[in-house]
Chain A
Amino acid sequence: MQEIIKILMTDDHPMIIEGYQNTLLATKKETQELQIDIANTCDQSIALMRKSIEEESPYDILFMDISLPPSSDGTITSGEDLSKYARDLLPTAKIVILTMFNEPYRIHNIIKEIKPEGFVIKSDLTSRELASAFQAVLNNPPFYSTTVTKYLKTALESEIEIDDIDRRILYLLSQGIKTKSLTKHIGISTSSVEKRKKSLKEVFSITDSQDETLLKEARNKGFL
């Protein structure tokens, strides 16, 4: 009995999709038959998802890139948004995130927001790993690639617990955003930003008042 697996790959680089296709087709089991659809934009991806519901053959697995050009109506700006949308539309579909981003902050957010069945950092990826990821997601999710696993391990072992806003502050600071402009990005007052920074410095045992030292320590502890 042939097992038919419906796959939707969303990535704005045709080269990458070709790579995925090549790898999956070369490493699939004999019993598996892959039906792969390709979307280069968010709009295409959404249209294909809808179509699969209309045809009453929803996708089993969604391969999602994170950095995608925004949808034409502007509601969906990245793979994260698209994944959330897909979760609502295709609750049974398993989502595999494949991304270039390897910053702990982004990893943290993606796991928290999407809880993907598969999470692979592209730089970790070899064809063998992709093949095992595919099988693992189908049969025994979740599958996380090396970087993600490492991050999770550090986060678990770390005694430091900071909330999302703190993480965001750290992230924005690391992007070179000035403290003064942080309010624009987060929507809290300058004084509370300062307060948070102060407590962050305590949490990371920073003695001097320089942001660089804080960022360095946060990077060491795997928060950036």
Chain B
Amino acid sequence: MNKFFLFIITVLLASNLFSQNKKLDSIVVLRNLANNNEVEVAMRFEYARKAIQNSLATKQDSTILSSKRVLSYLFLIHGDYDSLFKINHENRKLATKIQDSFALANANNVLGLYHHINEKHDSAYYYYFKAVKLFESLNDIRNQGEVLANMADIQETERDYIGCENNAIKSIALIEQLPEYDYNLETLWYANNLIAIVSAELEQYDKALEYYNKTLAICDRMEDSYEKRLFSNINIAALYRRKKDYITAERLYQKLYTDESVYAYDPTSYSMILSGLANAKFINKTASNSEVKKLFNEAYAISKKEDDDFGLLSISMDVSEFYLETKNKDSARYYADNAYKISKELVANETILEALLLKSKLETGENAKSSLNAYIKLSDSLQKAERSIRNKFARIDYETDQIKAEKEQVSKERFFFLWISIALLVTLALLYIIFTQRSKNKELKFVQEQQETNEEIYNLMLSQQDKIDEARSTEKRRISEELHDGILGRLFGTRLSLDSLNMSSTEEAIKSRENYIDELQAIEQEIRKVSHELNTDFVSGSGFADIIKSLLEMQTRAYGLDYKLIHSDSIHWDNITNKTKIHIYRILQESLQNIYKHANASIVEISFSIKNNVICITITDDGSGFEVSKSKKGIGIKNITSRVKEIKGVLKIKSQINKGTTIAITIPI
């Protein structure tokens, strides 16, 4: 039977597990399909959504989270940023719930990325910071390094140069530990590039150059380095231009200009090179103005064609300056206005400032003044904004640390509270144990005392029995002796005398014989007497009654009371159990004590009688009495009640004020 059940249970369990596994299998398959690059994009989304649906059916948060992450990845690579934002908020909640810190870090990272793309820099920084802390705790070096590089990028954009450099250096230190894949080297390049840019902004040109060279060195380590090398070179050329080392700048731009592959690879970069070259040539006077103008025009045309606003902006500024120098104010103003317009659209504050400054130089009177004022106003507000954003980043760092510290504090407090609660509970438990133990001890002691007194009474009864036995055997011995010494001796003497008188038949002898016959009659009487004595059991059954009597005598003498005992001889105490007798004895004792303590009586009457196998005991006193219904029960009455109950008796108490009390107890045998 048992085996059968076991079998059924096993089958049930197995099928359950099997179905669960099947579900999981299908989810995993769906996920894999969603992750497969070769599958059509729309289908991949479909698979991912299905995986989530199936996961929801399992109600396992970890499964749901994994499936959602697949969808999140799809949103990310296909640029559906709004959906990305939504799903990653959900993922964050799930990850927090099941304490999956890796998923939580990823969700934070993606949210940071989302805000980064939408140029919500402070929010982006906030999520990045959280992601970094989590990746750090997970010891995930690659992600940590990447996020740090992204943070540095934000800080660069927001002109928090010190913060940017710090994070970039941290990122570099981490990424350097990783294997040299292009993927990692690209991050490394970005970080170094950021430091170079920041250094240039801080006018530390040597340091900037050093880091640009580092980016070039990184390019040497990459398999596919064309783009990065191009950017590095353009950046270096721009740096020299900024350093006002126009000779070197021209040389570098020239070198880039002659590389024909650049235009094909990236026209915007090419236009930047053209513009840089034109600017250098103009300043170095290595080309005629018309040649320079031609280069500028070519660059502007390319940027316009490529719709590259940044290119147009920087070229417009350069061209405007060129026309200013060549005293062609109208063209200069046109390009300056153009630059101002584009920079306003792009919110490229730096360039707005530059354009404003340029405009103020080109214009006269009120217009120049207003441009200058706008420049000063913007510059001030920019400085303030810079300061505030820098503070904001610092605050995010600080606040996150503070929250952490607060959390620790809270957990510490919780820990403390837990210990106090435990200590309190233990103390309470101990107190409870002590109290119960004490009351138990008390009870035990009481029971022991009870036992002792009961034993005492029992012994008393036993000794009474011994006394009776002794008396019996003494009596037996007395009768035996009486028979042996008295009657037997006399009988023997008489027989002997009669024997000796047997032979003679003299008058004297006949008379003598008559005497001996009388003697025989006397012996008869004697025997009858002894026989009678034997017949009366002089001690039968008087044991317990005697004990009671001596108790009454003793107690009443001690209490100064008179007593009257009425005892019916028809009660055979021998047939009554010792338990009952002991209880009766104790009840009497207790009652006498009560009478002595409370009743103020002068005489007690105790009567024992038996009717229909029920022993009736009444204890009557002539004391002050009490109101039975009103008075609170004392220990004495309680004890009597419990004892009567113990022997299945019935207790009745009648009392009248100043007329005494009667306790009536009936005990069935």
Chain A residues in contact with chain B, CB under 8 A?
Answer: 11-20, 22-23, 26-27, 67, 100, 122-123, 125-128, 130
Contact = CB atoms under 8 A, between A and B. Distances in A.
Contacts of B488: 100
A100 B484 contact: yes
B485 A19 contact: no
Interface in B347-405: none
B504 interface: yes
13 contacts: A13-B490, A14-B493, A15-B497, A16-B490, A17-B493, A19-B493, A19-B500, A22-B497, A22-B500, A23-B496, A125-B496, A127-B499, A127-B502
B501 interface: yes
A100 B512 CA distance: 25
Given A125-B496, A130-B496, A22 B489 contact: no
Contacts of B519: 15
Contacts, number: 65
A127 B496 contact: yes
Nearest to A22: B500
B50 to A, nearest CB: 97
Given A22-B496, A22-B497, A16 B489 contact: yes
A202 B490 CA distance: 43
B494 interface: yes
Contact of B496 (A16, A67, A100): A16
Given A15-B489, A67-B485, A27 B500 contact: yes
A20 B496 contact: yes
A19 B494 contact: yes
A22 B488 CA distance: 19
B1 interface: no
A19 B497 contact: yes
Nearest to A65: B489
A127 B512 CA distance: 16
A27 B496 CA distance: 13
Contacts of A20: 496
Nearest to B504: A26
Interface in B271-296: none
B504 to A, nearest CB: 7
Contacts of B492: 15-16, 19, 100, 122-123, 125
B39 interface: no
Nearest to A26: B500
B264 interface: no
B503 interface: yes
A18 B493 contact: yes
Nearest to B484: A100
Contacts of B500: 19, 22-23, 26-27, 127
Contacts of B485: 12-13, 67, 100
A27 B497 CA distance: 12
Given A23-B499, A100-B484, A127-B499, A16 B493 contact: yes
Contacts of B495: 19
Contact of A15 (B493, B499, B502, B504): B493
Given A100-B484, A100-B488, A100-B489, A15 B494 contact: yes
B490 A15 contact: yes
Of the listed residues A13, A15, A122, A127, the one surrounded by the most CB atoms of chain B closer than 10 A to its CB is: A15
Contacts of A100: 484-485, 488-489, 492
B499 A126 contact: yes
Interface of B: 484-485, 488-490, 492-497, 499-504, 512, 519
Nearest to B493: A15
Nearest to A19: B496
B501 A22 contact: yes
Nearest to A176: B473
B484 A18 contact: no
Given A22-B496, A23-B496, A100-B489, 11 more contacts: A16-B493, A17-B493, A19-B493, A19-B495, A20-B496, A26-B501, A26-B504, A27-B500, A100-B488, A122-B492, A127-B496
Contact of B503 (A12, A16, A26): A26
A9 to B, nearest CB: 12
Nearest to B473: A176
A100 B485 CA distance: 8
A17 B497 CA distance: 9
B520 to A, nearest CB: 11
Nearest to A14: B493
Contacts of A27: 500
Contact of A13 (B489, B503, B512): B489
B267 to A, nearest CB: 131
Nearest to A16: B493
Closest 10 CB pairs of A and B: A15-B493, A19-B496, A16-B493, A127-B499, A23-B500, A13-B489, A127-B500, A19-B497, A19-B493, A22-B500
A128 B504 CA distance: 14
B150 to A, nearest CB: 105
Contacts of B484: 67, 100
Contacts of A127: 496, 499-500, 502
Contacts of A18: 493, 497
A20 B493 CA distance: 8
Contacts of A67: 484-485
A63 to B, nearest CB: 12
A19 B493 CA distance: 5
B469 to A, nearest CB: 12
Contacts of A26: 500-501, 503-504
B24 to A, nearest CB: 84
Contacts of A126: 496, 499
A126 B490 CA distance: 15
A178 B127 CA distance: 105
A214 to B, nearest CB: 22
A176 to B, nearest CB: 9
A118 to B, nearest CB: 15
A130 to B, nearest CB: 7
A163 B393 CA distance: 123
Contacts of A11: 489
Contacts of B490: 13, 15-16
Contacts of A123: 492
A16 B498 CA distance: 11
A117 to B, nearest CB: 20
A14 B484 CA distance: 15
A124 B504 CA distance: 22
A132 B495 CA distance: 17
A23 B503 CA distance: 11
Given A26-B503, A67-B485, A100-B488, A13 B496 contact: no
A125 B492 CA distance: 9
Of the listed residues A12, A22, A123, A130, the one surrounded by the most CB atoms of chain B closer than 10 A to its CB is: A22
Contacts of B499: 19, 23, 126-128
A11 B486 CA distance: 12
A20 B496 CA distance: 7
